[in-house]
Each structure stands twice: as C-alpha cells, then as structure tokens.
Amino acid sequence: MYTNSPSHDVWTSLKRTQLRLVARIPEHITSKLDAAEPLVDRIGLLSKKMFPKVYAKIGEVVRELHRGDWPNTNLRLMVAGGFSDYVNWNNVGISWLARKTFREHMNDFVTNRSPGDTWEIELWVDTNRVGGTKEAEDIVSKIHDFLDKDKDATELRELLPKLAEQAELN
C-alpha cells in the first residue's frame, strides 16, 4: 500500500521542535517554506487518495484480463536483452503525473540508468510470460484514462507544477 512520504511534514515538525535550527535559516527561505506549506499538505492528502485508486484500478484491469482472478502479475524490465528489474506499479501513477506515456516514462528511466541500451517490458502472470511491452502499455493506458477522469488525481497533477514554481529560491 502506498504511504505518503513523511517529508511533507518536515517543515511543520521543524518549526515546532527545532526552533534554534529554524532561526538560523535565512528568512527568504523560511517565507517560501511557509507559503508552500498549505500546498504541500494538499498534495500529500491528494497523493494518499490517488495511489490507492491506482492500485484498485490495476486490480480491476488485471481481473478483467484474467476473468475475475487477480494472480501475481508483474512487469519485468528487460534491458539489453536481460532481466534488469521489476517495474513497480507506482510507475503507472508517476508516469501519468509526469504527463508521459508509459513508454516515455520507461525510456527516461532506462536512459538515466543504461544510456544507449534497448529495453522491453515482459508481462508475467504467476510463472508465465503472457505479454510484452504492448500489453503492458495497454494496461497502463486504461489506468491513465481512469486517472484523466478522477477529480483528486487531476487536481494533484495540476498542483505539482505550482509547488515546483514555489520551490524556486531565486
């Protein structure tokens, strides 16, 4: 189950428990942190709402494919023809939040770790390979379509760039 990173509470906690430390932080930084605090709180709340919905939708899509069952279903990332890692299902929501297709998201992921290498996805159910990159993209596309219509998810996606703008310390 997705749990929100505790980092969204760090500034609030520091202000309550580490007054000496906070007093040493330049005012132009603390004022930015104070201004961003409500937005960070809202993003944290929306994340806690969105990711369980993503997992529920993944389960629904997988059950559709397997006629009511939800077997152990994994996406395996193959780089340069060999197994690299399992793709965490969080990447489905993360790719959507980044406004990227699953292919674009995985291209970025592989390029950052193995520049120049080719990659593909293998879709596994229990111990059987049942599909490849296209089938994985089909699953992810259904979840992205669902997120496009979800009010909490779309609000979260709209707030993230605003937080990035507020984070500028110029």
For 149-168, what is each residue's pLDDT tens digit? 999 999 999 999 998 888 77
Q: Per-residue pLDDT for 19 more than 90? A: no
Q: Would you state the pLDDT for residue 73?
A: 83
Rounded CA-CA distance 49/46 in Å is 5
Cα 27 to Cα 67: distance, rounded to the nearest angstrom = 59
What are the residues facing 131 on neighbouring strands?
Answer: 123
Copy the structure tokens of residue 86. Answer: 């399992």
| Per-residue confidence (pLDDT) for residue 2, from 0 to 100 | 36
**What does the block give as tokens for 64?**
């559709």
At 86 the three-state DSSP class reads strand
Compute the mean pLDDT over every residue in the chain, rounded to the nearest whole number. 86
> What percent of the chain stands above pLDDT 70?
92
Query: Are the CB atoms for 75 and 41 separated by under 8 Å?
Result: no
The per-residue pLDDT for 69 is 64
Residues with Cβ within 8 Å of residue 104, at least 6 apart in sequence:
95
Report how far residue 116's alpha carbon sits from residue 123's, in angstroms, rounded to the nearest whole number. 23
Q: Domain map of the chain by residue range?
A: 6-167
Q: For the segment 40-55, what is each residue's pLDDT rounded down to a tens digit?
A: 899 999 999 998 999 8
Say yes or no to pLDDT of 5 above 70.
no
Residue 84 above 50 pLDDT?
yes
- Would the pTM of this model clear 0.95, i.e. be above it? no
Tell the residue number behind the tokens 């197994």, with chain if given.
83
66 or 68, higher pLDDT = 66
Query: Which of 108, 74, 91, 106 is closest to 144 using CA atoms?
Result: 91
